[in-house]
Amino acid sequence: MLRITIDCPTWMTRVAVSSVPLLMIGFAGVALGVPKTFTNGQLLTAADLNANFEQLPTVTEWVAYTPEVTAGSPPGTAIATTTVPDLPGVPPADSPGYWRRVGDTMEVRLDTFFPTCSMSGQLLWSLPAGYTVDAAKLSGHYDVVGTGTTVNPGTGAVLNTNVVATHQLPLIGIQPATGGTGTCAVIGSGGEARLQFAVPIQGWTATN
């Protein structure tokens, strides 16, 4: 059995050429969108494999960060937020936010708790420092880039929200799916917002 060891992602460490039909590799190439696909019986070269792997999108580990939350047009009024309070039997939250890179896109997960929230104006979340949304890859202001849920303990309201890339980029806002603007009136003191979204980042391409 002929075996070839190649540099590749952590989820793949070794390829056994004789045990993988080249037709199957060809189908995989189509699914991944790589530049070269293979047919049954075709010579498989290291150069072709390396070229294909170079076209795979860059994917990083999740990184913790704490977004700044403000109310109103920038610079706005800063709002003190914390990680979600510990609950019995539930592991404590390590950070209110996490992000990772997938190609030219930043994926973000936020879970923000508001001890108090009484300011006026739209609530806005910041991206990690040093990164800006690539507006050229969006169709316009207030593009929907994700979804979220808000919980208001005062009113008992649990609302589904759209996460939007605002005209005040790189800030991100929310809009209740039922209409209106995401403000402190939606969240309330002791309230929570859970957001997940993905935005293109200036200077990033799929592979570098």
Q: How far apart are CA 27 and CA 177, in angstroms?
A: 40
> Across all residues in the chain, what is the average pLDDT?
79
Mean pLDDT across 157-181 = 92
Binning pLDDT at 50, 70 and 90, where does residue 9 land?
very low
- pLDDT value at position 175? 94
200 phi and psi angles, rounded to 5 deg: -70, 145
Q: With left for phi above 0 and alpha for psi between -120 and 50, is residue 190 left, alpha or beta?
A: left
Element (H, E) at 24: helix 22-32
Tens of pLDDT, residue by residue over 105-143, are: 999 999 999 999 999 999 999 999 999 999 999 987 789
Helix ranges (DSSP H) in 40-136: 46-54
Residues 6+ apart with CB under 8 A from 201: 101, 104, 105, 106, 131, 132, 133, 134
CA angle 67, 73, 74 (to 5 degrees): 55
Instruction: Provide the whole-model pTM.
Output: 0.72
Question: Rounded CA gap, 43 and 168, in Å?
Answer: 53
